[in-house]
Structure 1
């Protein structure tokens, strides 16, 4: 189904306006350059800004300006309602982003998660694979069992879930899934390792059978064909500090009894700067399986 949006003053907006709005709905907050790279890489940034100005004039998107002129774009309430009218859109309605939230401290985390997604989009374009602007979703919650002293179940919330389709030379296709954990060095490293260990809890969490012929199986199998790997991406400090933090987090994970008993939970860690500059297929990751060897994200 072809959907168009219209600026009442100047008529229909360019067709790319709808994909841009879909990305803003899914990713909450994007810079001008992120939007340009996702949706109009074959145009000039001037053209991208022109489209965004028209969306702003139509009151479908709003912008926040930070020191240095960085533009941060997000949907207005009217824009959110327009996107929700797309019948094929599976995504649930997101909480409205306000101007204060767009300029608040959490923007750094959101924009960094989107940079992770962009790095995979670049790699897919260069290799003839599939990883588009909607290939990752933020804050994916998973129940992992009863919380001590609470009535509601405990949840593990991944910062994002990313899907990557690799097209092989022989015509076959493989799908790769990753839970993204974006660490800006704002929590103690042992707390970071403890969160990573909760993926082992998710792997084993099983719902009781609902009937006499129902066999219990882990809850994650209802959502995923295979258990996604965990990609830890570190940023927010200088390189020596981040490399120490990565080494410490991996060392703590390697001694965690939950993780050592669950080898199916595969954890790899890289620096965001390396992911952006060198791409995910370069040997930029260290894994809990073999931390002495740097590997690409799909290396065995």
Structure 2
């Protein structure tokens, strides 16, 4: 997830290396979901992985996930398949845990963001609606994929997400939206549908992303 920033040519070798490394991790994550869906008879096509979809949250700011995932869990032919959507954030430990956790607050803002036309107030006939409802029947799940650090670093980053979740406990966001984190290495080894994901509110659990809660 990133906010709006001016476009510029990346010339610093370190910045280029980080950018390429992040792009590769995002691609590995996408391929993990595609292969896993094929293996389990689910439906996830390449066009169901949409990078950097812009979601405004007011004041010129925006939430831009690394990818928006469309994934049908179950059989499409017999009508039993459930279409799932998820915002995917791939973190390679290039920023501090606190900055990673701040993304949770940004998604909470998106969950509650109601755009209003200047001078217009909501009425009983036309109540104000959150902007995301124009795009999705349900707010997409939020998946943090952690890479670029060992087990200790993963635990530190999940603890930071849990601390941020505690601060947001009074908001409906965490009651309505599953927020999960998992190491990329576990996704590559066991597949994204395996119980390798930790809910940020209760990281002692290991769950499958598509069936929790």
2:93 paired residue number: 185
Q: CA deviation at 1:160?
A: 1.0
Deviations 1:239-298 (A, max 9, x none): 33223322x2232123223x5412213210000000111011211111023222111112
Paired position in structure 1 for 2:186: 274
Instruction: Name the residue aligned to 1:261.
Output: 171
Which structure has the higher relative contact order (CA within 8 Å, separation 6+)? 2
Query: What is the CA-CA distance between 1:170 and the residue it aligns to?
Result: 5.4
209-218 vs 272-281, which moves further = 209-218
Is structure 2 residue 56 aligned with structure 1 residue 143?
yes
Unaligned runs of 5+ in 2: 1-6
Deviation at 1:115, TM superposition (A): 1.1
2:177 and 2:79 map into 1 onto residues whose CA distance is: 29
Aligned residue among 94, 97, 116 for 2:29: 116
Partner of 1:223: 135
Q: Which runs of 5+ in 1 are unaligned?
A: 1-94, 147-152
Instruction: Show the counterpart of 1:39.
Output: none
Residues 114 and 131, structure 2, Cα contact 8 Å, conserved in 1: yes
TM-score, normalised to structure 2, is: 0.82
Q: 1:238-249, aligned counterparts within 5 Å?
A: 238-246=150-158, 248-249=159-160
2:66 to 155, 159, 169: 159
Match of 1:18 in 2: none
Q: Paired residue for 1:290?
A: 202
Q: CA separation in 2, counterparts of 1:227 and 1:174? A: 15
Q: Rg: which structure is higher?
A: 1
C-alpha distance in 1 between matches for 2:142 and 2:31:
17
Query: Any idea what SS the aligned residue of 1:134 has?
Result: helix
Q: Does the 8 Å contact 2:73/2:81 carry over to 1?
A: yes
**Mapped pair 1:129 → 2:42:** yes
Alignment partners' CA distance in 1, 2:106 and 2:195: 26
Contact 1:109 1:184 in 2 (8 A): yes
Secondary structure of the structure 1 residue equivalent to 2:129: coil
Separation in 2 of the partners of 1:161 and 1:171?
23
Q: Whole-Å Cα distance in 2 between the matches of residues 106 and 235 of structure 1?
A: 14
Which of 206, 216, 232 lines up with 2:114 in the alignment? Answer: 206
Query: RMSD in angstroms over aligned alpha carbons?
Result: 2.5
Are the equivalent residues in 1 in contact too, given 2:104–2:165 (CA < 8 A)? no
Against the structure 1 CA distance between its residues 282 and 185, is the aligned structure 2 distance closer, same or farther, given a 3 Å change threshold?
same
Q: Distance in 2 between matches of 1:156 and 1:245?
A: 20
2:65 counterpart SS class: strand
TM-score with structure 1 setting the length: 0.60
